[in-house]
Structures are given as structure tokens and as C-alpha cells.
Structure 1
Amino acid sequence: MPQPAESGRKPQWVKHTVTADEAGRTLQQLLTETLGISGRMIQRLTRSRGVQMNRKPGWLAGKVKAGDLVEVRLVVDEEPGLTPVEMPLSIVAEDEDLLVIDKPPFVLVHPTSPGQDRTLAHGVAWHLQQRGIRARVHPVHRIDRDTSGLVLFARTAHAHHRLDLQLRAGELKREYLALVDGVVTQDRGMIDAPIARDPRNPTLRVTRPNGEPALTRYEVVERYPNATLVRLELETGRTHQIRVHMQHAGHPVLGDRQYGRRRVDLVKRQALHAERLAFTHPATGAPVELRAPLAEDLRAAIEVLKNETARG
């Protein structure tokens, strides 16, 4: 698991010796296909002399030979892009490549309109600034404002690129806990329903046959007389996917004022928590698995449901 990073930011040179199978490719092909470096990052690296071939500045169009030593300076100082704002952060894991935060509810991950200056990304910018690190804030994914739980940030553009590839390939696993309306009878199952914008309200989503493919897996954790605690895993990452899919299945998320409006008296936001992240570390290739305990307001809601069970 990543450990807290040291203050400051040092260049991180990655070394790669060209194999016989890789011989004959251009240096640029090697950087993108083998080392997974984005085109934008390559442009920045060449301007800062951050790509070397056999201890000399590399020529991107040049062909590599077996045994050539390619060195890439992956850490490049960047402007934060956001005004740092001091705020408490519940840091679950951190190293030179990534930062994972347990986000409280009612906080945006990043700005969605001008004037928003107290998002989680602003707090991350402040955290990096306090460590003397000049870096752009790179959220790898996001969760809704009112959803609590784990959010993954990359601390370098290269790490962001590598993690984004995992996200797009479905290799970055995300699991959620949700309190939903009614009793879910099947112990586990899958919801396969395409999602599109709601034609009546473009900020919302609906299931439609011509929408984008969306797949959510679920399993029951605990049942109550009129509600169920379920664990859900996203196979795709559509906007509001869990909330839309659970409404589609007839079990809207409790407290959700946009999809279902069930038990808004019990919890003041949708009862949804990002509990688990699992991915491959972008630098070391080691598996990483992290969890965040259920948020306090959702634990309180469960106690109310249990007391209702006892009275029933």
C-alpha cells in the first residue's frame, strides 16, 4: 500500500533497456506503447530535455536498437491550475504518484462551474503546496457531491495517464455501499440497462435502449423490513449510474432527492458510499486495494432501520 510521501518533489527518472522485440520502433513508439506515456507528456518532456537515449537527448523519430538505454524524467513541475484552499483531508494513502482521499458528503470533487472554490481538488492543491510540490491536481475519477468515500488523485501527469487507461479498460475496480428502498430479494445480480440524458432535464439521466451501455453488479449485505444494504460494483462509469440503475430496478437509493425521493427524512443525501478501490500502481505495477469505513450519517441511518426492525 502507498505510504506517506516525503516533502518536496524530486525528478523521477525511469530507465528502460530496449529488448530485441522492441528494436526497430521509433523512440516515440517505445515511449507511448511500452512505457505508456501520453503524447502531451512527451511534448513537455522533450521541451525540458526529459527524454534521453544512451545519456544523450533523444530523437523521437529515431529508431531504437536492442540494448539502447532510454531514460525518461517523469516528474515535471506544473502550475496547480486551482487556487489552493486549506481544508481538512482524510488521507487514506499517498506516495509520489498518487493520493487517495476519503471524501465527506456535500463536497464536490472538482469545480463544475465558475466561482466554485471549496472543492476537494482545491484542498488537494493546498495539501501539495504545503509540501512544496508544484503539480496540477489530477482526479482520476469522481463521485457525486453528496456521495461519500474514496476518490483517487494522481500526483503526476504520467500517473494520471496510466490510471486513466485502467479506468477506461475497466481494470480500476470501484465498489459502493448503498441503502436502497424495499427488500431486494435476490442475493446478487446484475443490472444491464443503457443510460442516456433525460430529455426533460439534461442534468439527470434515464435508462433508454439507445443510451450508452451501463452495467452494475450488486449483492445484498443486510435486509431490513423496508430497505436493503447492498454492495455494488461498477463495470462502467456512467453519470449517476448506481442511482439510475437502482431506480430502474425498483429500489431507489434512500435519501436521493433526484431519483425516487425515498426516506429523505432518514438521511439528508443519497445513501451512497464509495467503499473500495482496487487498481495497479502506476509506477510499481503492484496491486493496490483500499477501503473506507461507512460514513457516520449512513451508520446512523442503519441504526434507525435496525430499531424499526426491532419495533416491527
Structure 2
Amino acid sequence: MSRRLEYRIEAEKAGMCVREFLKKELAFSEHQISRLKYQEDGLRVGGEKVYVNHVLREGEVLTVGLTEKVPRRDTEGAKPGKVWEAPAPEIARLPLQILYEDRDLLIVDKPAGLVCHPSPGHYNDTLANQAAAHLGGTGTVMDMRVTGRLDRETSGIVTFAKNTEAAAILQRQREDGRLVKIYLALAEGDFDRESGVVDSPLRREAPGSFRMVCAEDGKPARTFYRVLARTAGPRGEPRTYLTCRIEHGRTHQIRVHMARIGHPLAGDPLYGTNEKSGEPMGLHAFRLTFQQPFSGETVTVRANLPEWAYNLKADLV
């Protein structure tokens, strides 16, 4: 299956060569560009075949021809882990909460407690196995990728790209700030500021450790937070609803940063003050704004609020 994408060159893009345009504007990799070079309808301007060194002029229309992969049932020789297994019975029974779907993307609402993607110890009991079944890819080699996965304990928006091009473009949007995911959090204690930034590098506590720590030799990580409302926990202890936005997207970033400033998330089994409380963790990815990878249309997706936030007024978020 193939599709044609057309891009009219605007004044600020004029002077770029095709290779530069594909890399900077569409986040194509060298491998993807190389494939286009050898397709008869891979790259055309004004209907004429062009090469990657063609210099684009204002008003020209660049046509990119993509060959879409379909799920391959001939799995002989496939790398381990590349064949999508049918979801485990207990996962198959769960409804897949679809928030948005088009030709390139599937966006769903993940429940807390469900692993996003196959990993050691979780081969078919994951959200990705559910998504693969929905897309008809069970038992196949299918080009589906999770972009922006969530921790097992975190609920909310997860995006699956149906092709490598869409995945690469979304990653570029995340890096340059066009893709924004907002989290709802419930933190312990009463904040003395209505908003703030936690700017603290993160790394693993030790090689192979699951825990993350703030450390000078870690990777850059920045979390912006804003107080929404104040509430109380089951024993009357003060708690605070927040919205959080992150830069860099490190493992456990919001969880570690909130604990760093003395306000761990409610119910956090790893960084919280009451590790065996049994209550759900107070972190939920509830809003995502991005540009559709190929049309450029701005899309905003919202997930339903989790049960622990039902007493939060909807107009606050």
C-alpha cells in the first residue's frame, strides 16, 4: 500500500535541499531518505522526479511517496520480540479505551497497573498487545511503536504510531515543544507556592536499579507544576492537586521531582511516604496536544479523569 504526501514550500523553507527538508521538517532518518531515493515515485517536484540535493524554491510542491508496511504473517526469521503475541486472557477482556485514531496514530487511555509494552516478565499482558489486536496485528510482524510510554502505575494517554515515519515526527515534535502532554497529579502536603519548576538531573540509583535519583551527574530533567486545588487524604492529611508538564521525559521524572521537593505523589509505591497504602498512585496523563504528523493539523486529546480526581472541579483542568 502506498500514499502520497504533498508539501508546498513556504518562503522560510526556500533554499533548503530536499534532504535537509525531509530531516528537519519531517524528521526522516537517513535510512528512510535512502529508501525514497530508489522509489520511482519517492520524491517529485511539480510531477518531475528529483534527487535529495534538489534545492527547493518558494511555491514548489514536494511530493513524497511512502510505501506503507502491512502486518506480515510470514514471521520466519523475525527477530525475537518482533512478533506481536495475542493479549493474555485477562488483558483481552479489558476494553481498549480509544481516545483518537487515524491512519497514522492510535491514542488510548491506559488504566493504572497495566504495563505499556512487552518487557522481561511481561510478554503478552500489556497495553501494546491490546493495541496490536485492535489493529489486526496479532501473530504478525507489525510496524507499531509506542511513543511516550507511561509507568505501570501511571494512568492516562498513550500514543501508538502505526508507522516509523509518524513515530519519528512525533519524537521531533516532543523535542521542539510542539507536542505537549499535561499530567494531573495528587501530591502529599500543602504547597507554599502556586507554581514552580523543579530543575534537577536524574540518573539510576545504581547500575541496573529500577529507582531513579536526583544527581549532578544525571541527565537533564525539568518539571513545571501548577497548583489546582487543595484537598485531604483518607486520614485528613493535606494533599494538593497539580498539573505537571515535563521537559526531557526521564523515567519516573514527575515522581522523583515531587519527592525531591518534599511532596511525593499520593500512593507512590516507590518514592512515597506510605509504600503499602494500596491506593492508586496520583499521576494521570490527561491532555495531549500535537500536530498530526502529515497533515499538520493541531489535535488535542483528553482522557477522562481518574477516580481519585472525581471531586476535582472539571473547569480547573
Structure-1 residue corresponding to 2:108: 101
CA deviations on 1:170-217 (whole Å, 9 max, x unpaired) are: 332111112211222322222122212113862111111222221111
1:252 aligns with 2:264: yes
Whichever residue aligns with residue 123 of structure 1, its letter is Q
Closer, same or farther in 2 for the Cα pair 1:83/1:262, shift >3 Å? same
Q: Tell me the secondary structure at the aligned position of residue 203 of structure 1.
A: coil
Q: With structure 1 as the length reference, what TM-score do the two structures score? A: 0.80
Query: How far off is 1:102 after superposition?
Result: 0.5
1:144 aligns with 2:146: no
Asked whether the 8 Å contact 1:176–1:272 carries over to 2, the reply is yes
Structure-2 residue corresponding to 1:183: 190
CA deviations on 1:15-36 (whole Å, 9 max, x unpaired) are: 3466788777654334334544
CA deviations on 1:37-92 (whole Å, 9 max, x unpaired) are: 222222333455451435465544x5346476542123521547342535331010
C-alpha root-mean-square deviation of aligned residues, in Å? 3.1
Query: How far off is 1:94 after superposition?
Result: 0.8
Structure-2 residue corresponding to 1:279: 290
What is the CA–CA distance in structure 1 between the aligned matches of 2:23 and 2:35, rounded to whole Å? 14
Asked whether the 8 Å contact 2:161–2:167 carries over to 1, the reply is yes
* Contiguous gaps of at least 5 residues in structure 1: 1-9, 304-312
1:125 aligns with 2:137: no
Asked whether the 8 Å contact 1:53–1:68 carries over to 2, the reply is no
Query: How far off is 1:150 after superposition?
Result: 0.4
Q: 1:294 aligns with which of 305, 311, 315?
A: 305
CA deviations on 1:233-277 (whole Å, 9 max, x unpaired) are: 11231110011011101111111111124374351x422111111
1:240 aligns with 2:241: no
Q: 1:76 aligns with which of 68, 89, 97?
A: 68
What is the CA–CA distance in structure 2 between the aligned matches of 1:173 and 1:46, rounded to whole Å? 33
1:215 aligns with 2:227: no
Query: How far off is 1:156 after superposition?
Result: 2.1
Q: With structure 2 as the length reference, what TM-score do the two structures score? A: 0.79
Whichever residue aligns with residue 227 of structure 1, its letter is R
Whichever residue aligns with residue 51 of structure 1, its letter is G
Structure-2 residue corresponding to 1:6: none
Q: Tell me the secondary structure at the aligned position of residue 31 of structure 2.
A: helix
What is the CA–CA distance in structure 1 between the aligned matches of 2:116 and 2:206, rounded to whole Å? 26
What is the CA–CA distance in structure 1 between the aligned matches of 2:21 and 2:259, rounded to whole Å? 46
Asked whether the 8 Å contact 2:269–2:275 carries over to 1, the reply is no
Structure-2 residue corresponding to 1:163: 170
